Structure 1
Amino acid sequence: MANSFPQVMTIAGSDCDGSAGMQADMHTFFARKAYGISVMTAAVAGNSYGIHDATALSPDFIDSQFKAIADDFKVLATKTGMLTDSITIQTVAKNYKQYDFGPLVLDPVIITKHGNLLLEQAAYETLRQELIPLATVITPNFFELEKLADMTITTDADMLTAAKKLQALGAKNVVAKGAHHEDTNLTEVKDLLLLENGETFWLSEPYHPTQRINGTGDALSACITAEIGKGAGIEAAVRIAKTLVNQAIERELAVGHKFGPINIWALETTD
């Protein structure tokens, strides 16, 4: 029967080294036994040392990709990654509202895990206004949570307050990733899950000191997307993603010389 296999989609930039972006999403979809479909928004020339060049795709071509997918496939869940600029974000929001691509997992690629800003202010404001209200799940890192909530976070109570602010912006469920950028004695990473019904859960996993963490956020949001596409509830999908990404960080993969990818193949060992 056509389209009976679970299909999920990523809307993201292409990272040619395969460690992050669309490629990391597709690796994760495959590992979680969901068929991956993609809309490319940009292309990046980079490797484990850094990004060397990038180009954005035109809104017309992005529109064409969306139409081609909608005409043939049954997408059960969708995630976003890097969306480059305001016009790209507006194009994505327009198409997502036009077609049925299932629940949206918004990975708000605004600030790196090290605190470096990735989006210009105008694009950031567009993302807040256009995409957050569409999000079934939003997965900000610590710095993105602070910026989106417009507050400093120093305690667990602060994190919960910030997560509720994101719900007030329209996101239904919030996965708020904990800080791990300052404490050299860190032994665990603790994330917050705030569900649409107000329930909260703290999800803790061991901290693994390594430079091979490229694509961590991509894999987390992609795993959530894959599990939703296969029929899991939000809490179950997030718990699976949190555990499996931790395994992927723990079981290092010797690819590249510096800031390498996480080992997404580790995910295949757990159903």
Structure 2
Amino acid sequence: MTYVSDDARGAQHLELDTRAVDVLAIGSQVVHGSVGLNAALPMYTAAGLRYAALPTTILSVLPHYPSMHRVDMTGEWLGSALADLVASGALDDVRLVAVGYLPDPGHAAVVARWYSQWNAARLAAGRAAAPLVLDPTLGDVEVGFYNDPAVGPALQRDLVPVATGAVPNLFELAHLTHRPIEELRGEGLLEAARSLLEGGLDWLVVTGLRGELEGRVEQDQIGELVLVGGSVQLRRHPFVPSGAKGVGDVFTAALNARLVRGGSLVEAVDDAARLTADHLRSAQPGASDEPRQV
């Protein structure tokens, strides 16, 4: 391997795209499919944001197919890759860190330790703090766990305390708060959400609600419970039936993109819901392939 320069500036002229990186996205990557980073990154591109994408695992295809192969990144590699990004100067202007699928419980500690040190160094250098948004990708009601169930406690222990916000679905909220999912209805749902918020988060968005808040979401709607600044809101949006995976990745990335570009959390949730619905409609047979702007 040939090294051109020991100074990051001496190597940056080799980059085809020299724009500042806006978002550091950490999560899964597939060779073929629209989940994880594959689903999230187009949302950042559509919003005019540049990203750095760090895979925690690489899969050939979704694990639902007859044949699938994967390679999980080690904690050591993940930490080293993050250090490389810092040394290159790529993260100097990052405005948000997005953390999604982690296949190994140890990854949570690696990312949390790196983020805490990196953010502290930014503040010491007079730069603004970069929020960390956690999409605690554990699974869903239909499939169950996507990864090692031990990842849930690791997220709660290591990443929730340093995260700015989190975007769990009901399955993930249940496992992060150690409550049966059957209890996440009405006041039980509100209590679980508030308990997770007390772990250090500034805000929380619980996605994919249908009838969990005592009929306050109609049959043709889907809802998001938004907790921020002491307030609780239920946002309602048109429901687009789909069995596709990666919907949560699209929603969270669209929400992150709006937060980076400016706007309140509620505005970001509404934008993300609209764009996710558009994304689902456009993916249906016979739909237009024209790209949609964030």
Do the two structures share a fold, i.e. TM-score over 0.5?
Answer: yes
Distance 1:155 1:63, change over 3 A: closer
Distance 1:239 1:250, change over 3 A: same
State yes or no: 1:104 paired with 2:132.
yes
Contact 1:29–1:35 (8 Å) recurs in 2 = yes
Shift in Å at residue 137 of structure 1?
Answer: 1.3
State yes or no: 1:13 paired with 2:28.
yes
Name 2:84's counterpart in structure 1.
Answer: 68
Distance 2:240 2:158 in 1: 36
Which secondary structure state, in structure 2, belongs to the residue aligned with residue 214 of structure 1?
coil
Contact 2:184–2:192 (8 Å) recurs in 1 = no
Name 2:220's counterpart in structure 1.
Answer: 187
Q: Pick one of 189, 195, 208 that aligns with 1:178.
A: 208
Can you give the 5+ residue segments of structure 1 that lack an aligned partner in the other structure? Answer: 256-261
Provide Cα deviations, 1:163-207, integer angstroms capped at 9, x if missing partner.
10111222221111134599xx93111110111x11121111111
Residue type of the alignment partner of 1:186: Q
State yes or no: 1:79 paired with 2:98.
yes
In the TM superposition, what are the counterparts of 1:1-271 in structure 2 within 5 Å? 7-47=22-62, 49-50=64-65, 52-71=68-87, 72-73=89-90, 74-100=93-119, 102-151=130-179, 152-179=182-209, 186-195=219-228, 197-211=229-243, 213-254=244-285, 267-268=292-293, 271=294
Distance 2:106 2:63 in 1: 29
Which secondary structure state, in structure 1, belongs to the residue aligned with residue 69 of structure 2?
strand
Residue type of the alignment partner of 1:164: R
Provide Cα deviations, 1:228-260, integer angstroms capped at 9, x if missing partner.
2223332322221122112212332459xxxxx
Distance 1:125 1:264 in 2: 41
Provide Cα deviations, 1:138-180, integer angstroms capped at 9, x if missing partner.
1111111122223333533332221101112222211111345
Distance 2:248 2:145 in 1: 16
Choose 1 or 2 for highest CA Rg. Answer: 2
Distance 1:224 1:6, change over 3 A: farther
Which secondary structure state, in structure 2, belongs to the residue aligned with residue 52 of structure 1?
coil
TM (norm. structure 2) is 0.78
Can you give the 5+ residue segments of structure 2 that lack an aligned partner in the other structure? Answer: 1-11, 13-17, 120-128, 213-217
RMSD: 3.0
The runs of 4+ residues in structure 1 deviating greater than 6 Å are 262-265
Contact 1:15–1:23 (8 Å) recurs in 2 = yes
Distance 1:243 1:188 in 2: 12
Shift in Å at residue 6 of structure 1?
Answer: 6.1
Distance 1:120 1:5, change over 3 A: closer
Distance 1:144 1:208, change over 3 A: same
Contact 1:244–1:266 (8 Å) recurs in 2 = no
Count the aligned residue pairs.
259
Name 2:4's counterpart in structure 1.
Answer: none
